[in-house]
């Protein structure tokens, strides 16, 4: 059976079979049966990671999406215990059923931007982040995890119970067990007002500090993607979100682009980047001052079949070329190094002749939960979606560009996100993640039979110079 990731579609992987348990007992049995048969397991939620973390060639695959029930809702403390195959729609709906003590309901603090169907288990395993201006990655919002370990036994992991395992599972890419459920810390639901500026990168950092002083909670900066433009990567749309208590605030307006507008802009970003940015900034400036709920504002329009749409939207007289999709990469740099990084990033992208289709800058606070933190410090996070043609040359170009961008980030004391690809060299992995060897050692300790595996794991084991 052939499985693939959703966004890049660059990880076709043949697995022996797929199991989709719908109860905790069935999940434990999957692991016990795998042990009896001597097979390994890969595990996936919504299959949005892009480095082969959720697949293992020739092994059994566990699909977690059948597990999405609410297990316990503590409305006095704002703690939601829910199965890990739940996606953000399930979680947000469940949080709205929980009355908050001061009136209103509870809500999530953060979720990924750009995709909603990802699961809680997948999000914890990547230690994902949203666009909070003063937030650590998602692990900070996790009170505890219910894990099915390599023996098929159920373990509760938290900061006080099985604490080491807890820190390994958060950002641990499914290598330490199957996350059956997690308790998510919620926040009282509030309204926010969107504030939009178009500004230069040189002003952006100060603008962030001003907005933080002004109590804004969320924000991001979407930059110019046209390499012919003098302001390439240097100018952008800065959108921030400030809490508001105004009663007339509508709070229900959809914060993101309508699907047809999203597709049009995506197509324009391929064909006419200047026009794409112009329309995008007009759209955002037109929403300046609008109010949203802080949680549903984070929901995004995303169409998984976007590559088929782009192919269909090509002129009829143009012969269909090889498949094209987007590959994402995320780089981190100390905040005061963002200008230097973006200047170097522009050089790298131009030198490799790769096209940015979409890019954004966000902020993160130093992570104190994960054993393998990508947010090693308070960083600026720079995300690039690169157009990637599925030929050897096209894929190599994207890989080289991302290696160049990783070097540019590392030189400035930064890092990169493990979830989006596995292009990094050994030296880059070790510099960005000095504890990677120790991470693999812990893996062998907790799972000596390698019951849980993935092509991403096997790649890194080989890269680090050990046999899987
Ligand atoms: C368009 C797009 C936008 C994105 N935006 C953001 C963003 O804004 N911020 C951000 O941080 N990330 C972002 N991501 C990355 C995304 O958050 C991660 O790749 C996340 O892991 C995807 O979750 P998933 O449910 O699809 O997991 P999968 O891709 O299915 O799996 C990812 C990892 O989690 C493991 N896993 C999944 N479920 C379980 C489980 N129950 N128990 C144990 N292990 C499990 C898998 O083995 C694998 O290692 C984006 C990705 C895409 C494609």
Give the pLDDT score at 204.
84
Q: Tell whether the model's pLDDT for residue 373 goes beyond 80.
A: yes
CA 173 to ligand 1 center in whole angstroms: 9
Are 439 and 375 found together in one domain? no
Which residue out of 41, 49, 149 has the highest number of ligand 1 atoms within 8 Å of its CB and is therefore the one to mutate? 49
Per 3-state DSSP, what percentage of the chain is helix, strand, and coil (rounded to 5)? 35, 25, 40
- Strand order in 178-185's β-sheet? 70-74, 79-83, 178-185, 142-148, 154-158
* pLDDT tens figures, 400-409: 999 999 999 9
Are 44 and 143 found together in one domain? yes
Are 153 and 287 found together in one domain? no
**Which three-class secondary structure state does DSSP give residue 184?**
strand
* pLDDT tens figures, 161-174: 999 999 999 999 99
Give the pLDDT score at 246.
77
Atom from ligand 1 closest to the CA of residue 177 = 43
Angle at 389 between CA 388 and CA 391, to 5 degrees: 130
CA 230 to ligand 1 center in whole angstroms: 35
Greatest CA separation for the chain: 64
CA 126 to ligand 1 center in whole angstroms: 6
What count of other Cβ atoms lies within 10 Å of the Cβ of residue 174?
Answer: 28
pLDDT band at 256 (very low <50, low <70, confident <90, very high): confident
Does residue 44's CB lie within 6 angstroms of at least one atom of ligand 1?
A: yes
**Which three-class secondary structure state does DSSP give residue 428?**
helix
Alpha-carbon gap, residue 188 to 217, rounded angstroms: 13
Does residue 45's CB lie within 6 angstroms of at least one atom of ligand 1?
A: yes
If one compares 304 and 327, the residue with the highest pLDDT of the two is 327
pLDDT band at 248 (very low <50, low <70, confident <90, very high): low
Are 157 and 243 found together in one domain? no
Give the pLDDT score at 253.
57
Beta-strand relationship, 218-223 and 291-293: unpaired
Q: Identify the residue whose C-alpha is closest to ligand 1 atom 13.
A: 112
User: For the domain that residue 348 is a member of, what is the CATH number?
Assistant: 3.30.70.2520
Q: Tell whether the model's pLDDT for residue 184 goes beyond 70.
A: yes
User: For the domain that residue 103 is a member of, what is the CATH number?
Assistant: 3.30.465.10
CA 118 to ligand 1 center in whole angstroms: 6
CA 270 to ligand 1 center in whole angstroms: 26
Atom from ligand 1 closest to the CA of residue 5 = 29
Atom from ligand 1 closest to the CA of residue 127 = 11
* pLDDT tens figures, 113-138: 999 999 999 999 999 999 999 999 99
Are 382 and 397 found together in one domain? yes
Are 382 and 454 found together in one domain? no
Are 185 and 195 found together in one domain? no
Atom from ligand 1 closest to the CA of residue 147 = 42
Does residue 419's CB lie within 6 angstroms of at least one atom of ligand 1?
A: yes
Are 182 and 221 found together in one domain? no
Are 183 and 204 found together in one domain? no
Q: Tell whether the model's pLDDT for residue 277 goes beyond 70.
A: yes
Query: Which residue, 255, 101, 311, 127, is CA-closest to 186?
Result: 101
Domain hosting 266: range is: 191-426
Q: Tell whether the model's pLDDT for residue 443 goes beyond 60.
A: yes
For the chain, how many helices (H) and strands (E)?
Answer: 13, 20
Please, is 318 exposed, middle or buried when counting C-beta atoms within 10 Å of its C-beta (0-12, 13-18, 19+)? exposed
Work out how many domains the chain is built from and give that number.
2
Q: Identify the residue whose C-alpha is closest to ligand 1 atom 44.
A: 174
Does residue 48's CB lie within 6 angstroms of at least one atom of ligand 1?
A: yes
Q: Residue range 214-243: average pLDDT? A: 96
What count of other Cβ atoms lies within 10 Å of the Cβ of residue 226?
Answer: 19
Are 167 and 226 found together in one domain? no
- The mean of the pLDDT values for the chain is 95
Q: Residue range 224-253: average pLDDT? A: 86
pLDDT band at 24 (very low <50, low <70, confident <90, very high): very high
Output the DSSP codes for 94-126: HHHTSB-TTSSBEE-S---SS-S--BHHHHHHH
* pLDDT tens figures, 307-333: 888 888 877 777 778 999 999 999 999
**CB distance 332 to 416 below 8 Å:** yes
Q: Identify the residue whose C-alpha is closest to ligand 1 atom 10.
A: 128
Q: Residue range 199-225: average pLDDT? A: 91
Does residue 7's CB lie within 6 angstroms of at least one atom of ligand 1?
A: yes
How much is the pTM?
Answer: 0.97
* pLDDT tens figures, 38-64: 999 999 999 999 999 999 999 999 999
Q: Identify the residue whose C-alpha is closest to ligand 1 atom 9.
A: 112
CA 48 to ligand 1 center in whole angstroms: 5
Does residue 173's CB lie within 6 angstroms of at least one atom of ligand 1?
A: yes
If one compares 208 and 159, the residue with the highest pLDDT of the two is 159
Q: Which residue has the tokens 């990469």?
A: 329
Structure tokens at 116: 């909603």
pLDDT band at 257 (very low <50, low <70, confident <90, very high): confident
Are 200 and 176 found together in one domain? no
Are 361 and 409 found together in one domain? yes
3-state secondary structure 308-364: HHHHHCCCCCCCCCCCEEEEEEEEEEEHHHHHHHHHHHHHHHHHHCCCEEEEEEEEE
CA 123 to ligand 1 center in whole angstroms: 5
Does residue 46's CB lie within 6 angstroms of at least one atom of ligand 1?
A: yes
CA 174 to ligand 1 center in whole angstroms: 10
Give the pLDDT score at 466.
63
* pLDDT tens figures, 328-358: 999 999 999 999 999 999 999 999 999 999 9
**CB distance 300 to 113 below 8 Å:** yes
């Amino acid at each position: 059976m052939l499985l693939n990731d959703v966004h890049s579609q660059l990880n076709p992987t043949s697995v022996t079979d797929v199991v989709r348990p719908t109860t905790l007992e069935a999940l434990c049995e999957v692991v016990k049966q795998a042990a009896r048969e001597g097979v390994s397991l890969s595990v996936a939620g919504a299959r949005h990671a892009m480095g082969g973390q959720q697949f293992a060639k020739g092994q059994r695959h566990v699909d977690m999406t059948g597990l999405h029930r609410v297990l316990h809702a503590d409305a006095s403390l704002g703690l939601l215990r829910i199965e890990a195959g739940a996606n953000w729609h399930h979680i947000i709906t469940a949080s709205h059923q929980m009355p908050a003590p001061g009136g209103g309901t509870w809500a999530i603090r953060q979720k990924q931007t750009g995709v909603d169907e990802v699961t809680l288990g997948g999000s914890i395993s990547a230690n994902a982040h949203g666009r909070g201006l003063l937030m650590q990655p998602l692990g900070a919002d996790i009170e505890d995890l219910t894990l099915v370990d390599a023996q098929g036994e159920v373990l509760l992991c938290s900061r006080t119970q099985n604490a080491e395992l807890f820190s390994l599972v958060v950002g641990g890419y499914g290598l330490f067990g199957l996350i059956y459920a997690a308790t998510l810390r919620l926040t009282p639901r509030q309204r926010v007002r969107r504030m939009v500026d178009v500004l230069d990168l040189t002003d952006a950092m100060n603008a962030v500090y001003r907005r933080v002083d002004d109590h804004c909670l969320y924000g991001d900066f979407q930059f110019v993607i046209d390499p012919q433009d003098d302001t390439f990567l240097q100018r952008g749309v800065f959108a921030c979100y400030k809490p508001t208590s105004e009663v007339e605030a509508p709070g229900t307006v959809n914060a993101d682009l309508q699907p047809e507008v999203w597709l049009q802009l995506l197509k324009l970003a391929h064909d006419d980047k200047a026009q794409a940015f112009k329309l995008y900034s007009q759209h955002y400036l037109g929403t300046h001052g609008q109010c949203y709920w802080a949680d549903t504002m984070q929901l995004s329009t995303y169409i998984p079949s976007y590559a088929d749409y782009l192919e269909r939207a090509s002129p009829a007289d143009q012969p269909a070329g090889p498949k094209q999709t987007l590959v994402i990469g995320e780089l981190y740099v100390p905040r005061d190094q963002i200008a230097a990084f973006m200047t170097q990033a522009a050089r790298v992208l131009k030198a490799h002749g790769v096209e940015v289709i979409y890019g954004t800058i966000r902020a993160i606070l130093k992570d104190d939960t994960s054993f393998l933190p990508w947010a090693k410090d308070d960083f600026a996070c720079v995300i690039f979606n690169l157009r990637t043609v599925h030929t050897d040359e096209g894929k190599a170009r994207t890989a080289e560009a991302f290696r160049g961008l990783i070097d540019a980030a590392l030189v400035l004391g930064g890092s990169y996100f493990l979830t989006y690809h596995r292009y990094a060299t050994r030296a880059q992995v070790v510099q960005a993640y000095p504890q990677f060897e120790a991470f693999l050692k812990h893996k062998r300790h907790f799972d000596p039979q390698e019951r849980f595996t993935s092509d991403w794991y096997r790649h890194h084991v080989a890269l680090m110079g050990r046999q899987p």
